[in-house]
Amino acid sequence: MAGVDVEEAIRIARDELVAPFEGYHRKLPDGGCCAYPDPASGGEPWTIGFGSTGADIHPDTIWTRQQAEERLSAELRSTVRYVLHYFSSQTTLTERRLAGLISFVYNVGSGNFRVSSVRRYASMNEWSKASDSLLLWNKASGKVMRGLTIRRQAEARYLV
């Protein structure tokens, strides 16, 4: 892991993967945003801004654009710390690989990452297998989602 520029990995993840795939949703006329239901469930978890979820987000939650961007930054920093926890100095991480993993974990959650073959293969420096494993995470509520398939393909390209 030596030499990985974590700030650059976060920037790549934010600008090239997370923000484009999550989008900025439900934009209001004043530039703010309001919460919306999960596309797969039609309800929980309620989501806002750039895909933010949590106990503080309800159907009536409204944020400014600045709040959404600050939350995204905080969540990406938390995500990168979680991802790095699983890798040793022997792991051949690059900024792009780390960005792909950050985007994946941001979307599927830390618990899913912890038990995933993506994490297991990446920690063994088997990046091609980790990349292939990402492609299996294209379902929500058991349904293949076109948007998740496209996102996983993009993230997978960052791992190899």
* CA of residue 22 relative to chain centroid, distance: 9
Whole-model pTM?
0.93
Q: What is the pLDDT of residue 2?
A: 61
* Per-residue model confidence as pLDDT tens digits over 129-152: 999 999 999 998 888 999 999 999
| 40 assigned to some structural domain | no
Q: What is the CATH number of the domain that holds 129?
A: 1.10.530.40
DSSP secondary structure code for residue 96 in this structure: H
| 74 assigned to some structural domain | yes
| 52 assigned to some structural domain | no
| 105 assigned to some structural domain | yes
**Contact in structure between 6 and 12 (CB atoms under 8 Å):** no
| Residues whose CB is less than 8 angstroms from the CB of residue 144 and which lie 6 or more positions away in sequence, other chains included | 138
| 96 assigned to some structural domain | yes
| 104 assigned to some structural domain | yes
Domain span including residue 138: 6-22+66-159
Give me the half-sphere count of Cα atoms (radius 13 Å) on the Cβ side of residue 142.
0
| 39 assigned to some structural domain | no
Residue 13 CA to residue 126 CA, distance in Å, equals 21
**Interval 63-73 mean pLDDT:** 97
158 has pLDDT over 60:
yes
**Interval 87-111 mean pLDDT:** 95
* Per-residue model confidence as pLDDT tens digits over 30-49: 999 999 998 778 889 999 99
Work out how many domains the chain is built from and give that number: 1
1 has pLDDT over 60:
no
| 114 assigned to some structural domain | yes
**Interval 120-128 mean pLDDT:** 97
